[in-house]
Structure 1
C-alpha cells in the first residue's frame, strides 16, 4: 500500500512539475511580447516557438529533477534544499534549450530589434535582444513556478501527516540514550509522517515493556521474528557506540526483510557537530562529522544577502557615519578608525574596522581583555558610540570585503581564542562560519563583558540551526533592540 501511495505521489509531482514548466514557457513568451509588443514575427512563428520551448523544457526539467533525486521520498529533507535543486534543474533546462534551438536554427537566439525600434528599459537595464529577455525570463520562471507548486504540495503533505495520514511506521533498534533521542526527534517533527510503532532493545533479551511511552516488544535475539510479526516500513538502528562491532551483523540480518534501514551513528557529544553529511568514494562511505553549514547553496545565498544588505545599510547610515567620524576627530586626538586583528571563518585573520572609542594607544597594554563598564580608557564620544553600537558601523566594509557576515558569532582576538579553545569544549566550532556584525547571542543581551558560557551556548545554537530565516530574524531583532542595550559599553 505504501509503495502504491509513493508511486501516486511521484506521478502527482511529475505531472505538477510538467504543468509548471509548460506554464513557465508560455509566460516567458508573454513577457517577451509584453516588453516588445511591436516585434515583427513571421506567421505561425509564435506557436512554433512555444511548442519548441515546451517540447524541450518539459522533459529536460523533469528528467533533471529525477536525476537530482527529487522524486524519491524526502520526508527528512529541507524545503530550502529542495528549492536549490529545482533552481539547478531550471538552469540545466534553459541551457539545453539554448543549445537545441541554436542547433536547429529556430531563429529564437537571433532576433534583434529592427533598426530604429525604441529600446525598452526593464528594472533600469536597457533590453536590446528579445530572445535573451525570453530566455532570462524562462530561467527565473521555471524555478519560480516549479518551486512554488512544490512548496504547496509539500505543505499539504506535511499538514496531512500531522493529522495522521500518509504515515510511515518505523521501529527503533536500541532503547538507550541514542534510541531515545531518535524517538524524541521523530516525535517533535510530526510533519515527516514517521511514527514510532515500537522499540527493539539493544540487549539480546529484555524484561522492559516500554520506553518513553512506546512498547518495547523484545530484544535483538527476537529481531527477525518481531519484524515478521509486526511489519514496519523502516528500521532506525540506534545502537550505543560500545556495540559498534555488532552493527555489521545486525545489518546483514535486516537484509532479510523488506524494510528501509537507517543507521543513527553514536557521535553526539556534549557539543553536537556543526553539521553531518555522508558521501561516497568508490563504494566507501565517508561521514563528514564537522562540516560548515554554509558550504552549500545556503552559503551563496547568505553572501548575496550580505552584499545587498551592507550596501543598503551604508546608504542609510552614511550621514550617521560621517557625523560619528567628525565627533571622534573632535573629541580626542588619534585616528578615526580603529583596526585590530580578529579571527573569522576557518581561522583566517583579518583587520576589523571600528570607530575609535578609546584614547589613542590605550588598548596597547599587551593584556587581551574585554572593555569593562566605566573603563576610563573610553572617551566621551566613544562611550556613546559603544552604548548605541554605532562604533560597529565601519564593519559594513568588512562585510563587503568578505571578512565578515551581517550575522554570525562575534569575532575574537587570536590571543583570546588560544586561551578559550582549551578551556571551553566546542569553542572552535565558531570558526565554521564567518564572524558577524550581530548574532544570536548579541540580540539576547550577551555582549561585551558577559557570561562566556552563555555566549558560546547561543553561538553554537546559531551554528547548528542556521538558516536564512534565522539570519533574517536576528537582523530584525537587531533593529528592534540591538542598537541600544545595557550591556553595550
Structure 2
C-alpha cells in the first residue's frame, strides 16, 4: 500500500502518478498495473464545448430550413432562432448525453420547440408574416430530428474511434460494478472510458480496486475523472452520501444506478440515461457549480440594495424604539457559521437585555435540550419591543446589509451560532452538509415552521433538500411564502397588542 499524506491507497496506483498529484505537475491518467483497467496511451478529452457547438449549429440549420422554403421574412427567422435556441439551452438540450437517440428525445423537444415558436409569434405578427405556428412546427420537428440524428451519428463515430471520451470511475465493487466496467469497455459509443473502481469490500474477480472509498478525491485527481457512476454493492449507502456530494460539488457528473431497476422501479425523465440496459440517474450539479448561481447573487444585491433604501425610514424608527426600550447597543452582532463553515458576523436589532451567563446546555446535552435551554434564556431576557420585533421578524432587517456585503443570501439555510453549530455538527446527521451553500435570510426549513425551539434534525433535512433541488424558482417560492408568513405574524401580533 502507498501512504499519501497519512492515507493509504491501493497498490494499483502508480507511485510516480501519486508524486505528480502531490506536486500538481500533471493531470493525465497513468497506466495502472492491472490489465483490467483499459487506459489508452494518448490522452482522450471530452470536447464538451465542441459537442455543444455542433448541436447548436445543426439545430439552427434545421430550424431555419422550414422558414426559408415557407417564405418567412428574415427578421422573423433570426428572432425564431434566438428564441428556440435559448429555450433549448435553458432546458439543457445541448448537454452531452451518454445515450444518444434523436427519436427518443423528440417528444421532449417538441414542447420546447413549440415554446420557442410561441415566443417568436409576436414578432411574426408585427412583421405581417402570414405563418401558421402549427404548419411551421409540423415542418420544424422532422428537420430538427434529422439534424440531431446527423450530429449524434458524428459523435458516436468519434466515440467508437476513442477520439473523445470521459474518464469514468465506478463506485462499488459488487457484481453490478464489474458489469458496468465491462460494458464501458465493450461499448465505447457511450463515451465513457472506465478507469477502474473503488470498493469498500473485497473484489469479486481478478480486477483490483484503485483504492478504498475514502480515497475518492485522490483518485479523481490522479485519473482526471470527469464522470462517476455509483453502483450499489457491499458499501453501505450512508457511507456513499458524503462521497457523492463531494464529487458533485466539483465539476464532475455523478450518476446513480437506481435500486431494483430490473423490476421496473427505475425513474424516467431527461436526467435518466440508458447504458446498454442499465439506467443511470444523473445527480444534478451542485448549485455553486452552475452559472445561474451568479444570477442569484445579482438578484441578492439588487433586492437588498433597493430594500435598504425603501425601508430606511422604518429601520430608523425601529432603531429609536430599541434605544429607548433598554440599555445597550441598537444592533446586535453575533458570530455565526456561514458558507463552508466560515465565520460571519450577522446584524440584528437587539431584542434582549444584557446577556446572562450562557446556559449549561449550550455545550452539553442533546440537541433538543440545547435548543430548549436557549429558548428559555431568550424568553427571560426579551424586552417588550424585542418581543414585537421577533414576532414580526423585523429584527432581521439589518441582515439586508449582510446580504449586500455577500455574507448571506436572501434564501438559504439559516446561519447558526458558532457554539451551537459546532455541537450540532458532531451530533446531527447531515448538519455539516447544510453549509455547502451561502446561508440565507429565510429558508426552506423556516417556511415549513422549523424555527425557534424546533427539531435541528428536521431543519438539517429540509436545508439539505433545498440544496439538492435548488433553483431560482424555488427561491421565489420561498420568498413569497416568507412574505405571507411575516404578514400573518404581523396581523397576529397586532391583534394581541390590541387586547
TM-score (norm 1): 0.49
- For normalisation by structure 2, the TM-score amounts to 0.48
Larger RCO (CA under 8 A, 6+ residues apart): 2
